[in-house]
Amino acid sequence: MELTRKTILITGASSGLGRALAVELSKRDNALVVTARREPLLRELEREVLANGSRCLVGAADATDTEASRGVVQEAVTRFGTLDVAIINAGGSSAQRMGTISAEEVLATMRTNFDTLVNFLCPLIDHMRERGGTIAYTGSPAGTFGLPKSGPYSAAKAAGRVLLDSCRIELAHTPIRFVALYPGFTYTEGLDTDEVPVKSLIIEKERAVREMLWAIERGRAHHMFPRRIRWPIALGRVVGEPVRRAILGLVDRPARGASRR
């Protein structure tokens, strides 16, 4: 599948990877449905999409709101007749350490990164069950196992990964393809580079967009990138939990010492 002359929904499109994906796809004669909370930023994006020769529908909505999310999907279908591809991209988090944050903060992170998936995933499945389509989800390598300063975010992304695995099994008889994307650290507005222990792990936004679109076009079930972050994650799976926990504890020790001072 080539991502040209398609109708594509992108959530979290007002900034970061969502916006970058929309701009790139707008150069390929697509009809784009862009949604996020901040309508003024979406209107700026709309002007750029139209200038690049694609059509655009702005759906300002909070992706943590079930009815608002369903409404965006319905409006898109009404306007364009169908949705060929959806990239569920809304989410994000800052560093959070268990024992220093409240239950409300943990749940807020879960809503931002899991509810925002579910609220679009379910109506999209309903729409694509018979006619087909591709649903892509922006997860994270952090969703593979628990990481220091990332517990709620890791838990939310792990939940999204497992949910899509279930979709692949239960909806295997339908023409829907599910693509899970796991970009590593990427230079976007939401990245705090001070929280990245190895700066060489960070990639440019344009590289991330190329990787994501490549995986969607090929229908990859899972795509984690770049390789230099894929291998440490794979190693973490192999060594077993006790060893992995000990290694991550050593990485976290300076931060724990600083927090006690």
Dihedral angle over CA of 183, 189, 193, 199, nearest 10: 50
Q: Which two tokens stand for residue 60?
A: 């300002």
CB–CB of 146/135 below 8 Å?
no
153 assigned to active site: yes
Asked if residues 1 and 219 have their Cβ atoms less than 8 Å apart, the reply is yes
Q: Which of 137, 153, 182, 187 is catalytic?
A: 153
Read out DSSP for 215-239? HHHHT-SEEEE-HHHHHHHHHHHHS
- Per the CB < 8 A criterion, the answer to whether 97 and 145 are in contact is no
**Residues recognised as catalytic:** 153
